[in-house]
Each structure stands twice: as structure tokens, then as C-alpha cells.
């Protein structure tokens, strides 16, 4: 008799403890700030807390007993396949919040983005899922605003580059056509003046010095005009402009440079030709300033409607921390030109020694 009374007391104590734990669980569920749903294996909502009711703009009683599909759109759901809220492996412990991203449905039919996490327990041989959800509408709105601002800044950058190229072209033509012709005319006049026999002998050195200065001015003018806008881009196209850039780079910096390209593959419109020329020009400038290289290879070829551009040097190699610096304006300018053409660029030193730049540019609409 005493043994039976002891077992009865233990059984009652165990029931009381279970009831206390259940009461504590409900209290925690009720006071949680995150929306929490307990969902059965048949996707029926078994329990819901007030935070979930507020999220879906309804009451707790309306949530409990309702199918989950009434409030959440299953990931990848369509009319041809049944909803799959809990695919294999999603209920594993330790999943991050962003591992479960779905669309919620408020009581008035409004849809909104949700992120959350899932855990599961076995009850009578069947899984019970606990789903913790967060409304990320504001975060998505901020992300969309930032994306729009980023697109607008990129469009502004592209427009500014176009304006800059137009100004460069205009100034280069003005220098070449007006000032260049004026200097050439002065040199011709000076040459004619030097042939006059009645000039004093003392003026001969002076005239020679004037001609030297004029010739220097003409050479400098041509160099400045070419840097602003290579005439080869307008007169011969991208292929010959790159050849001239290679020769000038080698002569000026003493670094051997090889350009591998087919003239027929580089017959592009002005916008694409200018962008590609500036990308190569900026890359060579960076190499001359920072790489300490002895040789550079520029390779351009077309495949499947894309132009593949590779620039590789044998210098000291770029460091990962240098690629993200705000003051790396050359790299930023290259990226902006590539992105303006909807292309991809990869910069790295994964093939030492030196740095390798790989660029893919879609040019189907730029071929002439």
C-alpha cells in the first residue's frame, strides 16, 4: 500500500512538472517579440503567439488551426506542384535566419517578405516544426532604395565619362586643327625668313633657337592632343589606336609591351572602342606607376558575342587590400567603364609574378 502511494505521488509530481513546463513554454511563446508558429506535419498551424498575429494582421485564434498556406507562400510554389514548406534538411538545428526566406500574406491579402529559421522535434513519431519569423519589409525597402541610388550613381558616372570624352575630343581637335596649324604655319614662315640673304649673321642662332622651340611646341602639342583623344581612334579604329598606345608606352616607360589582337575583331563603334582604349590605357598607366614590371601582354579576342580582354604583367603583383582602397581611382575608373558596358572584371595576383586583369565585355550591339 505504501509503495502504491509513493508511485502515485511521483506520477502526480511528474504531471505537475510537465504542466509547469508547458505553462512556462506558453508564457515564453506569448511574450516573445519574434513571430513564432508551431506547425504540424500536415502544415496546420497548431500554436501561434501574439507577435505572429500582429505580423499577419489577424488574431491568434484565426492563426491556430489554419493551413500554413493561408499566411505563407511556400518557397518555389506554383500551381503544378504541392507546397513544400519543410524540405529535407531544412529543419536541422543551427540554421541561420536567412536560410528560410518566404513571402507572407496579411489578412487583407498584402504580401511581404519574411526571413526566419526552423527547428523540429518528434512527437508520437511525427515532426512538429517551430518556425520563428521576422518581417523584413523595411530592410528590403532600404535595400531597394540603396540599389536605385547605386544604379543612379552608376548612370551618372557613365554620363560623366561620356561628357568627359566629348570634351576631350573637342579640345583635342581644337588643339590639332587650330593651334597645331598655327604653329606649323609659324614654322614655315620662320623657315622662309631664315632664307633671306640680307639678315644679319647674328640673327642666325636666334632663328635656329626659335625653330627648335617651335618644333618642341609642335611635338608637345601633338602628344597632349593624342593623350586627350588619339586621332587613330577616329581615323583607323581601335586596333591602330592600341598599337599607337603600345608604342608610346614602351618609348616613354621603357617597358616592353605586346598587343595580341586581330584588326577584324576590333571593328567596334565609337563608344565601345573608346571605353576599351581607356581601360587598356588606365591599366598600362597603373603598371607604369606601381608594378615595376619588365613586360606587359595585352590580349584581345572575340568569342560568342563577347570581347575577352586580358592584361598581364610580370611586376610585383597587386595586393588584395589595394584593390578596395578609395584612392585607387584607376581601378575604380576601369571597373566603372566595364560595368557601364554590362561586363565583368577580375583583378588579381593569383598567377605570380605580376598582376592579371581579365575582362569580359558583351559587344554584340557594338560591332560595325
pLDDT tens profile 108-148 = 989 998 888 888 888 777 888 888 888 888 888 888 888 88
Q: How far apart are CA 258 and CA 304, in angstroms?
A: 24
Distances in Å between the alpha carbon of 99 and those of 88, 89, 133, 150, 317?
A: 13, 11, 11, 26, 38
Cβ count within 10 A of residue 91: 19
Instruction: Return the biggest CA–CA distance within the chain.
Output: 149
- Given a contact cutoff of 8 angstroms between Cβ atoms, the answer to whether 71 and 63 are in contact is yes
The string of pLDDT tens digits covering residues 240-269 is 999 988 998 999 899 999 999 999 898 998
Handedness of CA 200, 204, 210, 211 (dihedral sign): positive
Q: Nearest Cα to 98, choosing from 81, 79, 112, 118?
A: 118
3-state secondary structure at position 67: strand
Q: What pLDDT shows up at residue 145?
A: 81
**Nearby residues of 178 by Cβ (< 8 Å), 6 or more positions away:** none
List the beta strands (DSSP E) in the chain.
35-39, 45-48, 72-73, 100-105, 111-123, 126-135, 256-260, 295-303, 306-313, 344-348, 356-362
Q: What does each of the 368 residues of the chain score in pLDDT, given as a tens digit?
A: 555 555 555 555 544 444 444 444 566 667 778 888 888 888 889 888 899 899 999 998 899 999 988 898 876 655 455 556 665 544 444 444 446 778 889 989 899 988 888 888 887 778 888 888 888 888 888 888 888 877 777 777 777 777 777 777 777 777 777 777 777 777 777 777 766 666 666 566 666 777 777 777 777 777 777 777 777 787 888 999 999 889 989 998 999 999 999 998 989 988 888 889 989 988 998 888 888 889 999 999 998 889 999 999 988 877 776 665 655 667 788 888 888 888 999 887 656 678 889 999 998 888 87
Partners of 131 in the β-ladder: 37, 118
Q: What pLDDT shows up at residue 6?
A: 54
Tell me the backbone φ, ψ of residue 269, rounded to 5 degrees: -70, 175
- Given a contact cutoff of 8 angstroms between Cβ atoms, the answer to whether 306 and 267 are in contact is no
Q: Identify the helix (H) or strand (E) that includes residue 30.
A: helix 2-31
- Given a contact cutoff of 8 angstroms between Cβ atoms, the answer to whether 304 and 351 are in contact is no
Q: Nearest Cα to 358, choosing from 303, 289, 307, 318?
A: 307
Q: How far apart are CA 356 and CA 31, in angstroms?
A: 57
Q: How far apart are CA 321 and CA 343, in angstroms?
A: 23
Tell me the backbone φ, ψ of residue 20, rounded to 5 degrees: -65, -40
What number of CA atoms fall less than 13 Å from residue 348's CA on the CB side? 6
Quick one: 195 exposed, middle or buried, by C-beta within 10 A (0-12, 13-18, 19+)? exposed
The cell numbers describing 138, all together, are: 523595411
**Nearby residues of 317 by Cβ (< 8 Å), 6 or more positions away:** 291, 349, 352, 353, 354, 355
**Nearby residues of 314 by Cβ (< 8 Å), 6 or more positions away:** 293, 294, 295, 353, 354
Rg for the chain (alpha carbons), in Å? 36
**Nearby residues of 186 by Cβ (< 8 Å), 6 or more positions away:** 214
Amino acid at each position: 500500500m505504501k509503495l502504491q502511494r509513493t508511485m502515485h505521488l511521483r506520477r502526480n509530481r511528474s504531471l505537475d512538472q510537465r504542466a509547469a513546463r508547458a505553462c512556462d513554454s506558453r508564457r515564453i511563446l506569448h511574450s516573445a517579440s519574434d513571430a513564432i508558429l508551431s506547425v504540424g506535419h500536415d502544415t496546420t498551424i497548431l500554436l501561434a503567439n501574439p507577435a505572429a498575429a500582429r505580423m499577419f494582421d489577424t488574431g491568434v485564434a484565426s492563426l491556430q488551426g489554419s493551413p500554413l498556406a493561408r499566411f505563407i507562400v511556400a518557397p518555389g510554389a506554383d500551381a503544378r506542384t504541392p507546397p513544400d514548406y519543410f524540405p529535407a534538411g531544412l529543419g536541422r538545428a543551427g540554421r541561420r535566419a536567412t536560410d528560410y526566406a518566404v513571402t507572407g500574406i496579411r489578412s487583407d491579402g498584402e504580401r511581404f517578405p519574411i526571413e526566419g529559421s526552423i527547428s523540429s522535434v518528434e512527437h508520437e513519431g511525427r515532426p512538429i516544426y517551430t518556425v520563428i519569423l521576422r518581417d523584413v519589409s523595411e530592410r528590403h525597402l532600404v535595400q531597394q532604395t540603396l540599389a536605385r541610388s547605386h544604379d543612379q550613381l552608376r548612370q551618372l558616372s557613365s554620363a560623366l565619362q561620356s561628357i568627359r570624352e566629348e570634351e576631350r575630343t573637342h579640345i583635342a581637335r581644337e588643339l590639332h586643327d587650330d593651334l597645331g596649324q598655327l604653329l606649323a604655319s609659324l614654322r614655315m614662315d620662320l623657315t622662309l625668313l631664315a632664307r633671306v640673304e640680307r639678315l644679319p649673321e647674328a640673327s642666325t642662332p636666334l632663328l635656329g633657337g626659335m625653330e627648335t622651340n617651335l618644333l618642341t611646341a609642335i611635338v608637345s602639342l601633338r602628344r597632349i592632343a593624342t593623350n586627350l583623344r588619339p586621332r587613330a581612334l577616329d581615323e583607323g579604329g581601335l586596333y591602330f589606336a592600341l598599337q599607337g598606345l603600345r608604342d608610346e608606352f614602351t618609348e616613354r616607360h621603357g617597358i616592353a609591351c605586346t598587343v595580341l589582337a586581330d584588326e577584324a575583331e576590333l571593328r567596334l563603334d565609337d563608344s565601345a572602342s573608346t571605353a576599351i582604349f581607356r581601360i587598356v590605357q588606365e591599366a598600362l598607366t597603373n603598371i607604369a606607376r606601381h608594378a615595376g614590371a619588365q613586360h606587359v601582354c595585352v590580349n584581345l579576342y572575340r568569342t560568342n558575342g563577347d570581347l575577352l580582354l586580358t592584361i598581364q604583367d610580370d611586376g610585383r603583383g597587386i595586393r588584395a587590400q589595394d584593390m578596395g582602397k578609395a584612392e585607387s581611382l584607376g581601378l575604380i575608373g576601369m571597373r566603372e567603364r566595364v560595368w557601364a558596358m554590362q561586363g565583368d572584371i577580375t583583378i588579381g595576383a593569383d598567377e605570380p609574378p605580376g598582376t592579371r586583369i581579365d575582362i569580359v565585355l558583351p559587344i554584340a550591339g557594338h560591332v560595325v
